Amino acid sequence: MMDIRALGYVVVESTDLGRWEHFATRVAGLGVSPSASGENALFLKMDDYAWRIRVVQGAEDRYLCAGWELAGPQAFADAIRELDAAGIMWRRADAGQCAARRVQEMLAFTAPGGLACELFHGMVLDYLPPVSAAGSTQFVTGYHGNMGLGHIAAATPDLAASHRFFTQVMGFGQTDYLHLHMSPDPADPGQGLHFLHCNNPRHHSLALFESATPMPGNLVHLMFEVPDIDAVGAFMDRVHAHGVQIATNLGRHTNDRMVSLYVVTPAGFMLEFGYDGVQIDWSTYLPTRSSTTSHWGHRWGQG
């Protein structure tokens, strides 16, 4: 199985890079990367990594893919063998693309269930702070970024196939299975969510959400974590100041204990912004099954 270390980056398509730059730097607290550029894209950074979000100019506003970080060249070569054995078609980024993106090697493929993925290793750490108009926001990304940028929750029409691929080929570990009943109808079968971790202490780097209805880019949300409630409060003030649409009020999640709120990004998917997420020692962990998302709050449509 692959040795995926973290959610290294996320790629978004945008009809208006200026709108994304405004949202990312004025509201989310990211900085424009001083060390990665080109390819008609906006590179945004949050920590020591050269960049964490790549926004490419395009015809639609949507999520494109996640970049999963491998430990090094050997893990990258092993991952290629895993993809070949699983019958997955992949394509390698050329030298120019790797140089622009400040990585050693990179490849792209589409996982079962339709989730676009990239694999890479060796992104340059420029150790530059994310300077933004919102001030200097610190993000929880581990030691020199080794916990990755946060997590994503992605929709899949075939939860079983996606779960099988991410656990058995990509090597993700099971953290929690949540079965949700969103309607009071007893005949409603409900929906399942798998929360999966990779090789870092973050509770989950990927959540897979069962959804028969396709969503733009199949992304439900992207999560950024900050160190304390004051950084969440400052974000809430910026959300109000810039008229950003709020999707939920503040709440505490049950399984990862994150205190967070959700807002709508210019690409249509949500950004979860929170603090106090649990970090786990996987050697002693038992996967859980749960039936509710939140201890309190996270009410939809409430600011």
Q: Which stretches of the chain bind Fe ion, using CB under 5 A?
A: 223, 272
Place of tokens 């050329």: 94
Contact 270, 262 (CB under 8 A): yes
Contact 121, 147 (CB under 8 A): no
Who contacts 128 (Cβ-Cβ below 8 Å, separation ≥6)?
A: 31, 34, 35, 45, 48
**114 burial via Cβ count (<10 Å: 0-12, 13-18, 19+):** middle
Q: Which is nearer to Fe ion, 48 or 272 (CB)?
A: 272
Q: Which is nearer to Fe ion, 69 or 272 (CB)?
A: 272
- Nearest distance from C-beta of residue 251 to Fe ion, angstroms: 11
- Nearest distance from C-beta of residue 211 to Fe ion, angstroms: 15
Q: Which two tokens stand for residue 59?
A: 């015809």
- Nearest distance from C-beta of residue 204 to Fe ion, angstroms: 8
- Nearest distance from C-beta of residue 151 to Fe ion, angstroms: 6
C-alpha span between 37 and 23 (Å, rounded): 19
Q: Which is nearer to Fe ion, 51 or 209 (CB)?
A: 209
Distances (CA, A) of 13 to 10, 217, 223, 272: 10, 9, 18, 19
Q: Which is nearer to Fe ion, 43 or 262 (CB)?
A: 262
- Nearest distance from C-beta of residue 202 to Fe ion, angstroms: 11
Q: Which is nearer to Fe ion, 33 or 200 (CB)?
A: 200
Closest CA to 108 of 84, 86, 92, 122: 92
Amino acid identity at 158: D
- Nearest distance from C-beta of residue 158 to Fe ion, angstroms: 21
Contact 20, 32 (CB under 8 A): no
Q: Which is nearer to Fe ion, 79 or 154 (CB)?
A: 154
